[in-house]
Homo-oligomer: A and B are copies of this chain.
Amino acid sequence: MKARVHIMLKTGVLDPQGEAVRHALGSLGFDGVNAVRQGKVIELDLADGTDEATVNEMCERLLANTVIESYKVEIL
């Protein structure tokens, strides 16, 4: 089975990487870019029978820093 995990900085946490992208898009002439947030996506190829709870535990223990990041698990 496959799972996809989206990890984004929580709202209110400064995202300098996203801000740099926003600025660069403006420099390239793309107008109307109000905000950019950059996050991570992790695709896991797991043994069959692995449940969503296990993937959540992976996020809590390793993949996400839950102090500043939120995550969303999607089973494919």
| A interface residue numbers (CB < 8 A to B) | 6, 8, 18, 21, 24-25, 28, 30-47, 50, 54, 57-58, 61-63
Task: Tell me the nearest residue of chain B to A27, going by C-beta.
Answer: B62
A32 to B63, CA, bound (A): 16
Q: Which of B41, B58, B62 contacts A6 (CB 8 A)?
A: B41
Q: Are A47 and B21 in contact (CB under 8 A)?
A: no
A32 to B55, CA, bound (A): 12
Q: Are A43 and B36 in contact (CB under 8 A)?
A: yes
Q: Are A47 and B62 in contact (CB under 8 A)?
A: no
Q: Name the distance in Å between A57's Cβ and chain B's nearest Cβ.
A: 8
Q: Are B21 and A63 in contact (CB under 8 A)?
A: yes
